[in-house]
Structure formats: C-alpha cells, structure tokens
Amino acid sequence: MKRIHVAVGIIINNEQQILLAKRHEHLHQGGKWEFPGGKVELGETVSQALIRELKEEVNLDVESTESFMDISHNYPDKHVLLDIHLVRQFSGSGEGVEGQEIQWVNKVDLHNFEFPEANLPILDKIKLLNL
C-alpha cells in the first residue's frame, strides 16, 4: 500500500480563525475540506515542507511552526502519516493559488465542514486548543 508523509498546518490568524482549503474534486478525498499542507519531500523536515507547501498552495510566508500532533491513518487505497503543526507566525492573507476554495473559519464553526476521515482526530484536539 502506498505510504504518504504529509505536513499539515493549523494556521491561526490574529482573529483566532483557522484556514481551511477545499480539495479539488479529482483528488483523493476530493470535495472535502482540509487543513492546508502537502507531501514531505526527501531531505526536508516537516517544518521545511510545511513552510514550502503553504507558500505554494495558499501564498503565506511562514516564519515558524510548532508541532501539534501526528496521525497515522489507513484509507482503502493509501496510508497517510499526517504531521500536524500549528502556524501562528506568518504574513499574507491566504489565497487559493491552485484554484482551490479557501476560507478562514472560527473554531466553533469547524463542525459545519466535511473533512477527510483522517482529519477527525485533529478536529477533536482543536476543540481543546485555547486560541
């Protein structure tokens, strides 16, 4: 089974909102909302990968990241290892560079969005997070 190592960012702005991105329909788990990020390339740390991916995907310049949690999840067609980091220090307002829809969301409204199954433990832990 294919294994994918993914750096995921819980990006929190000054208004205490969290950035979500909607996956393109043609992608794995397409049409669902996610926390932005992407694959960790060979030789990259999770933080380096996340900083690169957030610039490429949502045009944010990230200063630093803080480890939050990690999740290993098996889908029928692939295995994902999600390395989730908090991102509070960044510049830019965010934009869907790859044409994806993005939205800044209040923590209490996250339950209104459909996420991939692997993201559900993240949502549970964010509920406990003091923004």
For range 51-74, the mean pLDDT: 97
Kindly report the CA angle at 29 between 130 and 102, in degrees rounded to 5? Answer: 50
CATH number at residue 18: 3.90.79.10
Domain count, the chain: 1
Question: What pTM, to 2 d.p., does this model score?
Answer: 0.92
Q: 113-131: per-residue pLDDT in tens? A: 999 989 999 999 999 998 7
Q: 11-26: per-residue pLDDT in tens? A: 999 999 999 999 988 7
Query: Domain range for residue 41?
Result: 2-127
pLDDT at 107 over 90: yes
Six token digits for residue 3: 């294994």
Please state, rounded to an integer, the average pLDDT across all residues of the chain: 94
Contact 102, 24 (CB under 8 A): no
